Amino acid sequence: MKALAVAPVFIPLITLLIGIMLRPYHQQVKVVSLVGAALLTLVGIRLVALANADVVLAVQLGGWEAPYGITVIIDRLSAAMVAITGIIGLAAALYGLVREGNPDVLRNFHIFLHGLLAGVCGAFITGDVFNLYVWFEVLLIGSFALIALGGGRRRLSGTMTYVVLNLLATLVFLLSAGLIYSSTGTLNMGELGLIFRAGEAPPAATLAVVMMLVSFAIKAALFPVFGWLPASYHVAWTPVSALFAGLLTKVGVYAMIRIVTLVWPEYGQAHEVLLWVACATMLVGVLGAAAQNEVRRILSFHIVSQVGYMILGLALASPLAIAGAVFYLIHHIVVKANLFFIGGIAARMTGSERLAAMGGLYAKAPWLAILFAIPALSLAGIPPLSGFWAKFVLVKASLADGFWWAAGVALLTGIFTLLSMSKIWNETFLKAHPQGEKAIRIDDEMRWGWWAISGLAAMTVLIGIGAGPVMEYAIAAAGQLADPVVYFQAITHPGGR
């Protein structure tokens, strides 16, 4: 059990090490990378199965008992996030089998990918505030290496923006972790939750938690601190963009959900602020997207807008709303990463990712059009796809609590999202290619990418059709978040069970 609990971190780390050692052997590195990502997915699925059977893995690392040692806790939310991380990692590794550009750079992609996955999984399974900071840094250094991959002036400039603003956010997080320790004397999330729930938190601790939420808000790209995301995501190589779009902002969202549900389980002032922030994020993101005319830039702004939905669920704080946020998180990671992958394939076929220079794909590659339509319609919330259920639950929860205006913003954002998606659809698929049909390149090189996007699209459809079980899982996860017995047990009964 102990090995299984730390496997989500150790599998990518070991894969990373093997990848570094096998550096000169490009093919072997790719195989190792695929195997590592597949193993991570399997471990994630096993964790989900365990969590679904109400087993919560809690392990104390380093031979120290909680709250002094480092706690690893995997509840339903963490297990689902690890599984999804594995799936997106696998899709990125598959897409990365393409041969283009410099082979050394391609090989490095497969190595750094696992550094990123280790950081992301570590952030999902840790139960310690400082440890969370360390995993944030691990995923940051992985993402730095990935975003700069391939070089080029535009990419390096985007990297610079990304590096500086993310470093700043992480520094704020470090400071807030120090302040939390200085005001409460603990870094263990469970103990922190107990102190806050008992109403024993000093004002300085509340301030420190708010500061921490600000740094998570930068990571999650919430209004008004989202500027770095659309300024940098579109410069990276396609599978890197897709990985970032799927996972990175969602680590911030996950951390917010984790901390807010632990320390403030009831609707309060902080939730009210979050509610306004969520609505502003949804609207600003989707309006920003309307002004863009490149595939990945449009999609980048939609990440911002979609994160708003998850925070809306968190802000409402009712069990249904939290369940909606968890469902949205699961659905969104799959859909968003897939749209970036498809955008990359479309760009490769048409020779550009500027909408004006694309076109003609509906005639030449109808399957790609269908594969695009699935996540695009899901993102906008068209039934019976996964996005519809996610939005339905959130709107229902808003109305149930009397926040009709928040429900209105959510629905309006859905309409604008549909407009944006139809813009990509018209320009990329329906319109004739400006240089004629012959300009469209169809080659066999993307076959692995096709597997990745088909698999993710199938998942979107499955989550849509099988929304019942997924929603039940999300509701149970929300129940665990509202009443985190295990988090508290991990302190009183060290050693886990």
Partner 1 sequence: MEWLAALTAGGLAGIGMWLLLDRNLIRVVLGVAILGNAINLGVLASGRFAGSEAAFVTATTVPSDPANALPQALVLTAIVIGFGLFAFALAVLKSVRESHGVTTTDRVTEITEEPAPDIEEVGLQIHQDDADHHHDAEEVRQ
DSSP E strand boundaries for 235-329? none
* Per-position DSSP letters for 256-296, written without gaps between them: HHHHHHHH--S--HHHHHHHHHHHHHHHHHHHHHHT--BHH
Q: Which is nearer to partner 1, 142 or 308 (CB)?
A: 142
Q: Is 159 in the site for partner 1 (CB under 8 A)?
A: yes
Q: Which is nearer to partner 1, 154 or 497 (CB)?
A: 154
Structure tokens at 6: 């730390």
Round to whole Å and give the CA distance between 387 and 169. 30
Of 219, 226, 325, the residue nearest 275 (C-alpha): 325
Q: Is 175 in the site for partner 1 (CB under 8 A)?
A: yes
User: Can you tell me which of 4, 55, 141, 373 binds partner 1, judged by CB under 8 A?
Assistant: 141
- C-beta of residue 155 within 8 angstroms of C-beta of residue 148: yes
Q: Is 425 in the site for partner 1 (CB under 8 A)?
A: no
Of 316, 322, 375, 323, the residue nearest 345 (C-alpha): 375
Q: Which is nearer to partner 1, 144 or 416 (CB)?
A: 144
Q: Is 143 in the site for partner 1 (CB under 8 A)?
A: no
Q: Is 168 in the site for partner 1 (CB under 8 A)?
A: yes
From the list 71-79, 138-146, 269-277, 398-406, the region that binds partner 1 by CB under 8 A is 138-146
Residue with tokens 């994630």: 44
- C-beta of residue 107 within 8 angstroms of C-beta of residue 87: no
Is the C-alpha dihedral spanning 386, 389, 395, 401 positive or negative? negative
SS3 61: strand
From the list 22-30, 86-94, 179-187, 412-420, the region that binds partner 1 by CB under 8 A is 179-187
Of 378, 349, 353, the residue nearest 365 (C-alpha): 349
Round to whole Å and give the CA distance between 42 and 82. 10
Q: Is 167 in the site for partner 1 (CB under 8 A)?
A: yes
To partner 1, the closest distance from the beta carbon of 265 in angstroms equals 26
User: Can you tell me which of 156, 415, 432, 485 binds partner 1, judged by CB under 8 A?
Assistant: 156
Please name the amino acid found at residue 490.
Answer: A
To partner 1, the closest distance from the beta carbon of 182 in angstroms equals 3
Other C-beta atoms closer than 10 Å to the C-beta of 375 total 29
To partner 1, the closest distance from the beta carbon of 179 in angstroms equals 6
Residue with tokens 């944030």: 136
Interface mask toward partner 1 for 207-246; x: CB under 8 A: ------------------------xx-xx-xx--------
Q: Which residues pair with 354 in a beta bridge?
A: 294
Other C-beta atoms closer than 10 Å to the C-beta of 472 total 12
- C-beta of residue 348 within 8 angstroms of C-beta of residue 291: no
- C-beta of residue 6 within 8 angstroms of C-beta of residue 98: no
Q: Which residues pair with 61 in a beta bridge?
A: 70
Q: Is 381 in the site for partner 1 (CB under 8 A)?
A: no
Residue with tokens 């609990």: 5
Q: Is 354 in the site for partner 1 (CB under 8 A)?
A: yes
User: Can you tell me which of 14, 38, 39, 163 binds partner 1, judged by CB under 8 A?
Assistant: 163
To partner 1, the closest distance from the beta carbon of 270 in angstroms equals 23
To partner 1, the closest distance from the beta carbon of 405 in angstroms equals 34
Question: Alpha carbon 231 to chain centroid distance?
Answer: 18
- C-beta of residue 335 within 8 angstroms of C-beta of residue 242: no
Q: Is 154 in the site for partner 1 (CB under 8 A)?
A: yes
User: Can you tell me which of 31, 39, 134, 287 binds partner 1, judged by CB under 8 A?
Assistant: 134
To partner 1, the closest distance from the beta carbon of 202 in angstroms equals 13
User: Can you tell me which of 95, 112, 144, 301 binds partner 1, judged by CB under 8 A?
Assistant: 144
DSSP E strand boundaries for 291-424? none
To partner 1, the closest distance from the beta carbon of 157 in angstroms equals 4
To partner 1, the closest distance from the beta carbon of 130 in angstroms equals 6
To partner 1, the closest distance from the beta carbon of 372 in angstroms equals 17
- C-beta of residue 350 within 8 angstroms of C-beta of residue 439: yes
Q: Is 181 in the site for partner 1 (CB under 8 A)?
A: yes
Q: Which is nearer to partner 1, 163 or 270 (CB)?
A: 163
To partner 1, the closest distance from the beta carbon of 398 in angstroms equals 35
Per CB under 8 A, which of residues 95..114 are in contact with partner 1?
A: 100-102, 105-106
Residue with tokens 């790209």: 221
Binding residues for partner 1, rule: CB under 8 A, are 100-102, 105-106, 130, 133-134, 137, 140-141, 144-145, 148-161, 163-164, 167-168, 171, 174-175, 177-179, 181-182, 231-232, 234-235, 237-238, 294, 296, 344, 347-348, 351-354, 357
